[in-house]
Amino acid sequence: MKRFTIQADGTDVTVYEQAGDGELTVLFLHGVGSTAKVWSQSMRRLQPFGRIVAIDLPGFAGGSALPETIEDLSDLAPFVCRVLDELGIESAVWIGNSLGGRIAVEACLNAPERVRGLGLICSAGVRLPGVEIATPYSMGEEEFNSRVFYQPERFFSLQSPTSRQATLDSRRRYEELMERTEVMDFSERLSEIRVPTTLIWGRHDGVIPLAIGEAFAKGIAGAQLHVLELAAHAPHLEQPERVNDLLEALLSTVSPA
């Protein structure tokens, strides 16, 4: 796997790329406060399907700066498309967790020619009456982490004070953009999605509850919802082998361009 930096909108974007023998291109997008490195195991596993790419989302990875072109959350999908242009990628299967999932959904709705399939892991993008979506500044860090991970003590111990602060800064930035974003709920447009879609949710997701995953599954024709026990908002970290099995099954249903 190689790591390199490109420029998009005058901002450095870190890219991880795994070459492959297949005809597909797969794009991985992380959630708030994470980085592209969380996908390394999945990228190696899915290498037989083709070119596998993951990017650090500027503003949401490791304390990186937010490009001036991103004023609200809906600016992120066009930005990622411009990153793909720099990489010479016309279309891909988009796989995203949380914020990364929202970006993938919005790209599929507004630039459908760029999206050949969707893998949505505890994805943002749907709101339901009476269903709370957790935000870190409405609660303490310890409580929020317990909503992200089924066993938070396993993952919290791996973070340094610097990385924890970067995560908190990224979450604050997300909330600032959220307040300026006109459309937070794509429920009424899910029927427009016409690509193979796999939904993966942790039974114990305390950030974006399972009810949201069920709404995605109901709204997207043919979507398959897989609920993982003993997992919360980051099942790709808590149960990577199971998640990779499901992503492999998704890619096997996507026709080459």
Q: How confident is the model at residue 143 (pLDDT cuts 50, 70, 90)?
A: confident
Q: How confident is the model at residue 136 (pLDDT cuts 50, 70, 90)?
A: low
Residue written as token pair 């490109």: 6
Alpha carbon of 118 to those of 42, 180, 231: distances in Å? 15, 26, 21
What the block records as the tokens of 143 is 């409580």
Looking at residue 115, its pLDDT comes to 98
Instruction: Count CB atoms within 10 A of the CB of residue 17.
Output: 16
Looking at residue 147, its pLDDT comes to 87
Looking at residue 138, its pLDDT comes to 64
- What span, in angstroms and rounded, lies between the C-alpha atoms of 110 and 116? 13
Q: How confident is the model at residue 218 (pLDDT cuts 50, 70, 90)?
A: very high
Q: How confident is the model at residue 167 (pLDDT cuts 50, 70, 90)?
A: confident
Looking at residue 2, its pLDDT comes to 96
Question: Please, what is the average pLDDT of the chain?
Answer: 92
- What span, in angstroms and rounded, lies between the C-alpha atoms of 25 and 53? 8
Mean pLDDT of 40-49: 96
What would the pLDDT profile of 59-109 be if each residue is shown by its tens digit? 998 767 889 999 999 999 999 999 999 999 999 999 999 999 999 999 999
Lowest mean pLDDT among 41-45, 114-118, 162-166: 162-166
Q: How confident is the model at residue 169 (pLDDT cuts 50, 70, 90)?
A: confident
Q: What are phi and psi of 24, to 5 degrees?
A: -90, 160
Instruction: Count CB atoms within 10 A of the CB of residue 123.
Output: 26
Cβ atoms 243, 236 nearer than 8 A: yes
* Domains annotated on the chain, with CATH: 2-251 (3.40.50.1820)
Looking at residue 15, its pLDDT comes to 98
Mean pLDDT of 223-250: 97
